[in-house]
Amino acid sequence: MSYGRAVTSRPAAGGGRWVEVDPGRVARWVEGFADRHGPPTTSVEGYGLLLTAPDGATAQLHTPPGAPATADVPGFVAAAGAPRRLGLLLARKGAVAVGVADGPDLVVSKVDTRYVQGRTAAGGWSQQRFARRRDNQAKAALGDAAELAVRLLLPEASTLTALVCGGDRKAVDTVLADRRLAPLAAVRAERLLDVPEPRHAVLVGAVAAARAVWILVRDPEPDGAR
């Protein structure tokens, strides 16, 4: 994923494509959709807004984490672009990154890396021993990640509109299973960022990904397929 671009696109499971748009570009994107497919009708859905064009094309505008629900496109654009305070928790293997973003700016950040042994091709007893050691290292790393979240994110919990996570879902779930982090788990967004092993640059880039508007676009079916 290229966080530096204003618009990114990837195929969607079940057809269509996901488009990730910078909040400042959403109005222009909707205008382009209308130019290509005709003026759409707008309906309110649980995820945000559904645009349905006269030619059958649709665009699902998903409300970004922390933004309020809206009833029309101008309201959606304003809400998506408004500054809000987001928590970030990225975890993968032995690395974790936590941060707080105030609007597009990362104002709190910390990255921690702990060695976790890779998989071994050896068999038998040696393989079991290495697997146990690897599991213990992974558990210790996630324990450290929970402590980091307690120290840096928990004091900010009451100020956050959402917690956006990224990396390995199981690792994130394990960190947030710590009872002390219940206030953070309560504001966790459904969005899970697809990020490489957390580093500071990855955490910085994750701010834009957390604020981006995700749009599921489905083009009209060819006449012969209807």
Does pLDDT of 139 surpass 80? no
**Partners of 190 in beta bridges:** none
Length of the chain: 226
d(CA 107, CA 99): 7
C-alpha to C-alpha distances, 6 to 22, 35, 71, 180, nearest whole angstrom:
5, 19, 24, 37
Q: Which residue ranges form the domains of the chain, and what is each CATH number?
A: 7-83+212-225 (no CATH), 85-210 (3.30.420.60)
215: exposed, middle or buried (Cβ count in 10 Å: 0-12, 13-18, 19+): buried
The listed range with the strongest mean pLDDT (7-11, 113-117, 159-163, 220-224) is: 159-163
Does pLDDT of 22 surpass 70? yes
Q: What is the pLDDT of residues 145-202, one digit of tens each?
A: 899 999 999 999 999 999 999 999 999 999 999 999 999 999 999 999 999 989 999 9
pTM across the whole model: 0.84
- Dihedral of the alpha carbons of 151, 168, 87, 176, in degrees to the nearest 10: -50
